[in-house]
Structure 1
């Protein structure tokens, strides 16, 4: 697989973060957990040597769900504390949306945690521009076998002016079509490879009282990250989008982008989505699918973990994965989907130098070879060269892994646009799906991008 290089703007931290992706679960619970200080064992070879001095690190993450991968990450943290009794973790766990808001506030106030999760693309660029994050080049260069085992271009979206600010823990295609083969077989519908075939599938499922595509856009990111990013690239091509995002000879009011908006709106007009799609989130759309009410839903690779953990056996056994169909006359590559390197650990620029070694130990534990293997074995794609036996993963994940190996990745809108630009797209797509004028929505997006890029 070839990861496309993206050119991302370095932005001000005072802008709101709005990711990809993307990608993750939308659990509503949160917790604050402080690690108990264990007895320091030290590594002294004789009684005269003092035990290792304890170092306290604050660590923020988003692992608040109950899926197997989340449990694996939490177990990894427990094991880290056992293996490093001199490192005391002050842990705060928050669901995704609350986490991003909290991190933005902490960055603006120069009160960043010592170690935290960040996202590839816009968030990392903004943190780097605000001097809120410390480079990890020395850690990576000190472990060349680890660094060199990552896939080509894996660090691109974590890099600003040659400095690498995080290490990818995953690979995140954000736009995949999950479908229930039994519905397609029952009603004689072909899995769509073209836009016309997709429209025909929608019409057939509607006639038979089946939701064609379950959609949950309550949080206003899913239509952008999981549908429009890939659909837009099909129509406009990658180069146009990158130029529009940087206001370099392209504008969001250009005909090709308006056309892309029109394609998405067409799906809503022909009834591809259920009523009330703005009142539920991505967990809600998966619930409709798992209840056997929907033939398809569109989401990122992260959905596999939830499907494997939560889907009834008959639903999971019938579930397969593909990509959005080609667009007639589109400028983008049909054999592609939107995606990013995903999330990774970072360390605060204001962290005391005495804590740096301990912070590096935690980063390595979170993104090192064993953590990468753990993620794969729990049905999570990674940007790391590692083989996992087929009997260690679910059939659906094995199918996804094989599919991704045949594709190219195109940009995810919210990993490239400014935060203000992303907000304009997110809000604009909701308006679009409810019947808004594509040209007026394109103008609003263009205005937001111009203002936020000062061009």
Structure 2
């Protein structure tokens, strides 16, 4: 599962200035290499690429196969693909940053990427975007902005993070329940499922990050209109609009929408509950596609962006197709013309339609708008996700709400939602939990 974990790099003030000093000394003060010279095009070159899983071939098949296809098409370029479990990967990148030995290309969490950018250790990819407008224009509109800082494009999306509700249509049909569109529809569905001892929404609060669909619902109450002012201390997280949403969560709990033992369950338990046919819906993402397609309920499963709200704020038809975490490039790459050229070739291939097709074949939504070819008989569940992604009536939220705030605040938002689901907090208390964290308490 591609979990949304947040463990940012922590640089001491002294180390920060040390790194800035090192980078400052190594920069060529604007005298960039003339890349129009093509003498390096046939030179054998190796680029180091580091990602966040221990077994890239098995755990990130789409990326692994893209690397293999790229090397097949570019025999003069060797990609040294390094895979490390996510927590260890973050620690490894931190150590490499301290010694100024970062990989040429690597996966990193957004907060950590910004720290490295601020320390002057990442390559500005603006030139790559300008030189590949045909590719870039195909990106979903929100895929680039999260990785911009002070005029620099410090990263590009590794993959799309697509989240919402999976639903078991067979259970809806069995009990004569209408597939919901609005919150009112959802309430009626919850009541019928509860009467028939069916869990409406599978949840497991032992993994508090697993509130993806609820974060999108929060966006339907004006989150992105308010969050900058909230972070600036000009507005409170405990506001009238957010309170309306948190009261909806409390209402769902009171109606029995969640498992009785939700506090004791993990996210993985909730997934299994859905696969076993015990729950009508599951709050999760496209990473569960393969598991669902291999389950007995595969032909009955659909994908839904979640309910619209009559008292919501702004556009209610918000989907969630956002950049998960960036691929970034070490600034030192620009000091080696052959390596720079190889890295640019790799990025161009990764974001091409050929690269997107490899993603589709591995049930990974591409970052670009690309229909491609999907074997609907072999991958019926994934085909339904892509259908929803291409629905012109829905527009993605700019980002996932907890990915644009500092880690402690993101954790507080997730905890506040599960606090209401568990009955630990009233809606007002949950909002205050976030406000206290905003104020440094």
Question: If the length of structure 2 is used for normalisation, what is the TM-score?
Answer: 0.78
> Is 1:52 aligned to 2:38, yes or no?
no
CA-CA distance at 1:105 after TM superposition: 6.0
Equivalent position SS for 1:307 = helix
Provide closer, same or farther for how the CA distance between residues 81 and 152 of structure 1 changes in structure 2, counting only shifts above 3 A.
Answer: same
Q: Extract unaligned runs of 5+ from structure 2.
A: 1-7, 12-38
Alpha-carbon separation, structure 2, partners of 1:264 and 1:170: 30
> Is 1:206 aligned to 2:190, yes or no?
no
Provide closer, same or farther for how the CA distance between residues 158 and 365 of structure 1 changes in structure 2, counting only shifts above 3 A.
Answer: same
**Conserved? CA contact 2:360–2:366, under 8 Å:** yes
Equivalent position SS for 2:180 = coil
Q: Extract unaligned runs of 5+ from structure 1.
A: 1-11, 16-44
**Conserved? CA contact 1:60–1:117, under 8 Å:** yes
Match of residue 67 from structure 2: 77
**Conserved? CA contact 1:63–1:73, under 8 Å:** no
Equivalent position SS for 1:77 = helix
**Conserved? CA contact 2:142–2:322, under 8 Å:** no
Give the structure, 1 or 2, with the largest relative contact order (CA under 8 Å, sep 6 or more). 1
Match of residue 113 from structure 1: 103
> Is 1:289 aligned to 2:277, yes or no?
no
CA-CA distance at 1:98 after TM superposition: 5.0
Matches within 5 A, 1:71-220: 71-84=61-74, 86-96=76-86, 98-100=88-90, 102-103=92-93, 107=97, 112-118=102-108, 122=111, 124-174=113-163, 176-220=164-208
Q: CA RMSD in A?
A: 3.3
Provide closer, same or farther for how the CA distance between residues 73 and 383 of structure 1 changes in structure 2, counting only shifts above 3 A.
Answer: closer
**Conserved? CA contact 1:169–1:367, under 8 Å:** no
**Conserved? CA contact 1:166–1:346, under 8 Å:** yes
**Residue from 330, 340, 343 that aligns with 2:322:** 340
Matches within 5 A, 1:285-364: 285-308=270-293, 310-312=294-296, 315-351=297-333, 353-354=335-336, 355-364=339-348
Equivalent position SS for 1:296 = strand
Equivalent position SS for 1:302 = helix
Match of residue 23 from structure 2: none
Per-residue CA distance 1:29-68 (angstroms, 9 max, x = gap): xxxxxxxxxxxxxxxx9xxx9x83543525224374887x
> Is 1:446 aligned to 2:431, yes or no?
no
Equivalent position SS for 1:59 = strand
Equivalent position SS for 2:429 = helix
Match of residue 24 from structure 2: none
Equivalent position SS for 2:241 = helix
Match of residue 35 from structure 1: none
CA-CA distance at 1:179 after TM superposition: 0.9
> Is 1:241 aligned to 2:227, yes or no?
yes
**Conserved? CA contact 1:13–1:126, under 8 Å:** yes
Equivalent position SS for 2:143 = coil
Per-residue CA distance 1:377-432 (angstroms, 9 max, x = gap): 33332232333245467333333333232211224112211122112222333333
Equivalent position SS for 1:401 = helix
Alpha-carbon separation, structure 2, partners of 1:207 and 1:113: 56
Equivalent position SS for 2:437 = helix
Alpha-carbon separation, structure 2, partners of 1:424 and 1:104: 25
Equivalent position SS for 2:286 = coil
**Residue from 5, 10, 15 that aligns with 1:14:** 10
Alpha-carbon separation, structure 1, partners of 2:264 and 2:342: 44
Alpha-carbon separation, structure 2, partners of 1:267 and 1:99: 38
CA-CA distance at 1:237 after TM superposition: 5.1
Question: If the length of structure 1 is used for normalisation, what is the TM-score?
Answer: 0.76
**Conserved? CA contact 1:59–1:92, under 8 Å:** yes
CA-CA distance at 1:138 after TM superposition: 2.1
Per-residue CA distance 1:123-164 (angstroms, 9 max, x = gap): 544442343322112223233322333344432122223322
CA-CA distance at 1:252 after TM superposition: 0.7
Provide closer, same or farther for how the CA distance between residues 285 and 332 of structure 1 changes in structure 2, counting only shifts above 3 A.
Answer: farther
